[in-house]
């Protein structure tokens, strides 16, 4: 039994952990909760390698009967995840684009369709694909730091969020807010994100993990089976839509990313990012 | 004409009333408003007998041209309706499960698709099927007592709300709140239910009926035909979905309720309820 | 470059303007923003002539590569637009009804599907079809005068808003609020409209145009192409629905408006409007 001095959420022994290059996972078998930490500095960008590790980690947890929930957070200060790695979209082969985009789809299908309880502890900024990761969880808690922002800001870069990013977003914030936010490519500071319903809760940064563990415990108090069927009922229509149009969606991505105008705009964006450092 | 001292909503003569065992109905023909009171202590649970009376009462009112609206409330203190009667789901025959589930569907089809203005005056707690009754009305007013709660808490019992409960819920509170509330099987205290949009208004308990009558008068100030067509336009897609999958939905219910694990969980729940008394 | 004393949004030379009988348009080619002013007193009602001019004006702007956004407002005090002109629906031929309704559809298809950024500067009341015009824009700013109201109040007149009015409304305010507001035919005073999300922002009347210009500048800061594709992604399903059922929708309108009961109710309404003056 946990000691009364043990703050909730800190995993107790016995504990199984595995760590690859970019993601660290610790499973506390006594509580059934895994802690997944993105540790790919400088900005946890979703490279093909990152996505592959992410996918394998989720699969391992999903198949582990001792694991009932996962808290996703970042080990890199100030950033949750910067989203898709733009270098994967610049000057690469068709085969590479195909493999990359399939990996992006895979992560979303796994996470949005996960049988586990998924809680995002958003402890830094979370643009574009980083926001998608958070949106795909069951619950989003964000550090109440107005310097941290979150949103699907693809339009700012001259690109369009795929329809399943949009579907996921609409399911969270509704049509009106999604329409405006996607068109403007808005990055919402934490307080605004909370007001819009994009995140469910704000807490002081130092309380974030404690709160995530408490929320997880609340969700795990319910029997898994009914909760999982309910989740499937809520998310199936949107998941099925990508499954039905997966190859078409890959083709769209390749067509789009192959355009010289898009390549130019992405290169420009990368140079700007480099200068910022 | 009503006396100025007559508080609004108190039915004046002439008045047609009919009362069965479990539901009392009074129709004020001068205003066109029926008052329907659940009076099946201890908790107005939706047994097959209750549902049959409910269905017949709604049909009678629907076919009565003098009736334009119905206020649904409870004559039992502290409870609106506890939802489906679990004894109807325990240790019964396939035939019984079929008949019961068809009656549950019937009530929803009648109430959600009613041509009358339907106002729920929620004067007590309203879990599961009780919440569905309220959700199926045009407008929900709840006593502002934080001890009264409302919600689709099926997941707490290890069971899954049917898709049409979910559709009705999503139409009221939107996707994000429905997803969380259904997965957690939340029972929301009245103030929280109001904040989430699950009920439209809170009033002090002693003002509830007066307010319900005032709201009804506001709705009845409009011509019926245009209002009815508008309501149909808003609700048809969701109603049609059950109509198209009615037999399948009955089969799902039977499969589910026949499982030994579910029977066990329902028996356990019933015993807990008995001990509480 | 604009002088620092030049308030934002006031068009600078060079400027192309065209004006028909009922709508005045000024395009500021330096900013790419057109100002479209309804000037058809007394109430900017959407007659066939008005709709035709509106449609031609939108088409001209849409095809002008110098135009990226349009601000829609009224030159008539206290009224944005009173909606469809009822005289077009009273005692006219089938051919006239057909032509009129096709023009109503046309305006919505053009405006809701516009590639331009569309901002409604709602500087007066905006019932029925006037509300639809505002709902079809990307962003709605309203003068914070509680005497100005907005809503789809068709039900008050005994008529039913078409399904695509409803779809547009649901996309803005969500299902629950749309259901109640449409059934009651509510006209929401500006502060209430803001609370419901029916308008995005309230500003003092004298700041309305300045604010509209500032909002437009914010939207135009984004690259057009990605924004347009995003808008299409958000609105296509609802636009396609009317395109697929256009002739059927015209037939419905004709059937409806040809009914003696509806003609009577519209005549009564017109007489009431005349007496008011």
Give residue C277's pLDDT.
55
What mean pLDDT do residues C165-190 have?
Answer: 98
Cα distance between residue A91 and residue A139, in whole Å = 37
C-alpha pair distances (Å), B120 with each of A272, B62, B71, B74, B123: 58, 16, 6, 10, 9
List residues bridging with A36 in a β-sheet. A25, A72
Whose CA is closest to B112, among B135, B143, B145? B135
Note whether C132 and C108 are within 8 A (CB): yes
Cα distance between residue C253 and residue C129, in whole Å = 14
Strands (E) in A13-131, as ranges, are 15-19, 23-28, 33-38, 45-46, 69-74, 78-79, 83-84, 117-122, 124-127
Interface list for chain A against chain C, based on CB atoms closer than 8 Å: 154-161, 163, 166, 174-176, 178-180, 182-185, 265
Q: What is the C-alpha radius of gyration for chain C, rounded to an integer number of angstroms?
A: 18
Cα distance between residue A276 and residue A259, in whole Å = 26
Give residue C4's pLDDT.
40
Interchain proximity C229–A185, CB inside 8 Å: no
Residues in chain B closer than 8 A to C186 (CB atoms): none
A interface test, pick of C169, C233, C239 with most A CB neighbours within 10 Å: C233
Q: Is the pLDDT of residue A12 over 80?
A: no
- A158 or A188: which leads in pLDDT: A188
Give residue C274's pLDDT.
79
- Report the helix count and the strand count for chain C, using DSSP H and E: 10, 13
pLDDT-derived band at A15 (thresholds 50, 70, 90) equals low
Cα distance between residue A3 and residue A15, in whole Å = 16
- Measured between CB atoms, which of C197, C218, C233 is closest to A163? C233
Interchain proximity C185–B222, CB inside 8 Å: yes
C-alpha pair distances (Å), B4 with each of B8, B26, C26: 9, 22, 58
**Domain boundaries in chain B?**
15-209+226-270
Interchain proximity A183–C231, CB inside 8 Å: yes
Whose CA is closest to A58, among A75, A36, A80, A79? A36
Buried b (16+ CB within 10 A) or exposed e, B40-71: beebbbbbbebbbbbbebbeebeeeeebbbbb
- Measured between CB atoms, which of C156, C160, C174 is closest to B174? C174
Whose CA is closest to C88, among C39, C56, C129, C60? C129
Residue B95: exposed, middle, or buried by beta-carbon count in 10 A (0-12, 13-18, 19+)?
exposed
Cα distance between residue C276 and residue C228, in whole Å = 44
Whose CA is closest to A38, among A12, A86, A62, A71? A71
Residues in chain A closer than 8 A to C235 (CB atoms): 179
Whose CA is closest to A112, among A133, A134, A96, A136? A136
Interface list for chain B against chain C, based on CB atoms closer than 8 Å: 138-139, 170-174, 197, 200, 218-219, 222-223, 225-227, 229-231, 233-235
Q: Angle C175-184/B163-173 helices, nearest 10 degrees?
A: 70
Residues in chain A closer than 8 A to B265 (CB atoms): 223
- Measured between CB atoms, which of B155, B166, B174 is closest to A226? B155
Tell me the shortest Cα–Cα distance from C219 to chain A, in angstroms. Answer: 6
State both tokens at C123. Answer: 């500087």
Tell me the shortest Cα–Cα distance from A111 to chain B, in angstroms. Answer: 15
State both tokens at B206. Answer: 């002693």
Residue of A nearest to C136 (CA): A176
Whose CA is closest to B44, among B96, B85, B103, B72? B85
- Chains meeting A at 3+ CB pairs closer than 8 A? B, C
Whose CA is closest to B31, among B242, B196, B218? B218
pLDDT-derived band at B275 (thresholds 50, 70, 90) equals confident
Tell me the shortest Cα–Cα distance from C267 to chain A, in angstroms. Answer: 36
Interchain proximity A160–C219, CB inside 8 Å: no
Residues B77-114 have pLDDT tens digits of 999 999 999 999 999 999 999 999 999 999 999 999 99
Q: Is the pLDDT of residue B3 over 50?
A: no
- To the query of whether residue A124 is one of the catalytic residues in this protein, the response is no
Tell me the shortest Cα–Cα distance from C13 to chain A, in angstroms. Answer: 28
- The CATH superfamily of A15-209+226-270 is 2-enoyl-CoA Hydratase; Chain A, domain 1 (3.90.226.10)
Catalytic residue among C129, C130, C151, C185: C129
Interchain proximity A233–B163, CB inside 8 Å: yes
The distance from CA C16 to its chain's CA centroid, rounded to whole angstroms, is 23
- Report the helix count and the strand count for chain A, using DSSP H and E: 10, 13
Interchain proximity C222–A185, CB inside 8 Å: yes
**Residues of B assigned a catalytic role:** 84, 129, 153-154
Residues A164-212 have pLDDT tens digits of 999 999 999 999 999 999 999 999 999 999 999 999 999 999 999 999 9
Q: Is the pLDDT of residue A271 over 90?
A: no
Give residue B277's pLDDT.
56
Interchain proximity C158–B218, CB inside 8 Å: no
Note whether A102 and A161 are within 8 A (CB): no
Interchain proximity C182–B234, CB inside 8 Å: yes
- Measured between CB atoms, which of A170, A172, A226 is closest to B154? A226
How many CB pairs below 8 Å do chains A and B form together? 59
List residues bridging with C16 in a β-sheet. C27
C-alpha pair distances (Å), C243 with each of A169, C52, C117, C237, C249: 26, 19, 22, 10, 10
pTM: 0.93
Q: Is the pLDDT of residue A70 over 60?
A: yes
Interchain proximity B230–C155, CB inside 8 Å: yes
C-alpha pair distances (Å), C94 with each of A32, A42, C53, C55, C161: 69, 68, 22, 22, 20
Residues C106-116 have pLDDT tens digits of 999 999 999 99
Residues in chain C closer than 8 A to B139 (CB atoms): 180
Q: Is the pLDDT of residue A42 over 60?
A: yes
Interface list for chain A against chain B, based on CB atoms closer than 8 Å: 138-139, 170-174, 197, 200, 218-219, 222-223, 225-227, 229-231, 233-235
Give residue C158's pLDDT.
87
Residues B243-260 have pLDDT tens digits of 999 999 999 999 999 999
The secondary structure of residue B42, as a DSSP letter, is T
Q: Is the pLDDT of residue A135 over 80?
A: yes
Catalytic residue among C27, C154, C182, C242: C154
What mean pLDDT do residues C109-130 have?
Answer: 98
Q: What percent of chain B has pLDDT over 90?
A: 84
Cα distance between residue C30 and residue C13, in whole Å = 8
pLDDT, averaged across chain B: 93
Interchain proximity B184–A223, CB inside 8 Å: no
pLDDT-derived band at B9 (thresholds 50, 70, 90) equals very low
Q: Is the pLDDT of residue A6 over 50?
A: no
Residue C248 CB contacts under 8 Å (≥ 6 apart), including other chains: none
Cα distance between residue A206 and residue A221, in whole Å = 25
What mean pLDDT do residues A1-27 have?
Answer: 63
């Amino acid at each position: 039994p946990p000691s009364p001095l043990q703050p909730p959420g800190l995993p107790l022994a016995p504990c199984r952990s595995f760590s690859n290059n970019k993601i660290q996972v610790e499973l506390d078998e006594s509580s059934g909760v895994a802690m997944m930490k993105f540790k790919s500095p400088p900005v946890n960008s979703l490279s093909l390698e990152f996505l592959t590790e992410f996918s394998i980690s989720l699969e391992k947890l999903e198949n582990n009967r001792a694991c009932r929930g996962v808290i996703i957070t970042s080990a890199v200060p100030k950033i949750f995840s910067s989203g898709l790695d733009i270098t994967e979209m610049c000057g690469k082969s068709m085969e590479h684009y195909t493999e990359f985009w399939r990996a992006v789809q895979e992560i979303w299908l796994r996470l949005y369709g996960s049988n586990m309880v998924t809680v995002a502890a958003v402890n830094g900024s979370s643009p574009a694909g980083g926001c998608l990761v958070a949106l795909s969880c069951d619950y989003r808690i964000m550090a109440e730091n107005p310097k941290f922002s979150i949103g699907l800001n693809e339009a700012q870069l001259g690109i369009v969020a795929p329809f399943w990013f949009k579907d996921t977003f609409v399911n969270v914030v509704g049509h009106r807010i999604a329409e405006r936010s996607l068109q403007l490519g808005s990055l919402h500071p934490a307080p605004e994100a909370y007001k819009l319903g994009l995140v469910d809760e704000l807490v002081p940064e130092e309380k974030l993990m404690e709160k995530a563990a408490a929320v997880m415990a609340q969700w795990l108090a319910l029997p898994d089976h009914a909760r999982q069927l309910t989740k499937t009922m809520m998310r199936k229509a949107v998941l099925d839509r990508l499954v039905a149009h997966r190859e078409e969606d890959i083709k769209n991505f390749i067509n789009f990313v192959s355009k010289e105008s898009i390549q130019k705009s992405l290169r420009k964006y990368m140079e700007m990012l480099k200068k910022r450092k």
